[in-house]
Homo-oligomer: A and B are copies of this chain.
Amino acid sequence: MSLENVQKSRYIMVMERIKKEIKEGHLVPGERLPSENVYAKQLGVSRATLREALRILEEENIISRKHGIGTFVNQVPVFSSGIEELNSITEMIHSAGKRPGTEVLLSKYVTPTEEDKEKLQLQDGERILLVKRVRTADDRPLVYCIDKVPARLFSEESHLLGGSLFNFLEQEAEVHIDYATADITTVGYHEDISARLKCSKKIPLLVLKQLHYSTLDKPVLYSINFFRSDQFSFNVLRKRTQR
């Protein structure tokens, strides 16, 4: 079977190549890129292909293009890892340089609530897999997770034992998560959850409610995460939209 041998499009390869150049410091913030004609020849692609790559980088706020002047690396080339980049919590902890751990509190098949049915677009009678976990970073509790997945996605009643739910879904259900809508709120104190996270009454919790969609635009995972606010914050790049 095939896995990563799929040939990516050229414009994507070019885009990633340029991103890499910036990340590794070969192109520094404020610097002008070679002109499109020159750069296209250097990269071995046509100018049109290069332009599609540049267009994406501009949209991502990594470069700016100025008609008649040139193309420049932004002063704040945000490679995000901000909230708008969707990663599993395992990945988030990893990229913060810590060691992720999991304590599974609950994993069972249950009848969904009305809210669950609506969000996950369930038929009457369908059941869901409900998982409750505490995720740790370097063995310290960081976030309390409640995850809900339609049971129909699994061929048999499989259970998540540890690690990334994203990987689990991909392997057991052959579902790939593509994007999610997230809602950020906060809650002052929660009897059970605050205790599980071993944090005092004074520390509020950041709440992230997310509905995850598959590549086919179907909702496949509804999750509610409670973060310790003393150890976590979300950051975002915000852009004005008029041009």
Residues of A within 8 A of B (CB): 8-9, 12, 30, 48, 51-52, 55-56, 59-61, 67, 74-76, 78, 83-87, 177-189, 202-206, 210, 213, 217, 229, 233-241, 243
Contacts and interface: CB of A to CB of B under 8 A. Distances in A.
A78 B56 CA distance: 18
A165 B157 CA distance: 56
Given A74-B217, A181-B238, A184-B233, 4 more contacts: A86-B240, A179-B240, A185-B206, A204-B204
Q: How many copies does the complex hold?
A: 2
Contact of A217 (B75, B205, B237): B75
A24 B136 CA distance: 46
13 contacts: A12-B243, A30-B217, A76-B179, A76-B217, A84-B236, A84-B238, A181-B236, A181-B238, A183-B233, A183-B234, A184-B206, A184-B235, A185-B206
Contacts of A74: 217
Contact of A204 (B55, B188, B236): B188
A102 to B, nearest CB: 21
A177 B233 CA distance: 24
Contacts of A240: 85-87, 177-179
A235 B203 CA distance: 22
A221 B75 CA distance: 16
Nearest to A81: B241
A188 B203 contact: yes
B86 A184 contact: no
Contacts of A237: 84, 179-182
In the complex, the 8 A-B pairs of residues with the closest C-beta atoms, listed nearest first: A75-B217, A86-B238, A204-B204, A186-B186, A184-B234, A185-B233, A59-B59, A188-B204
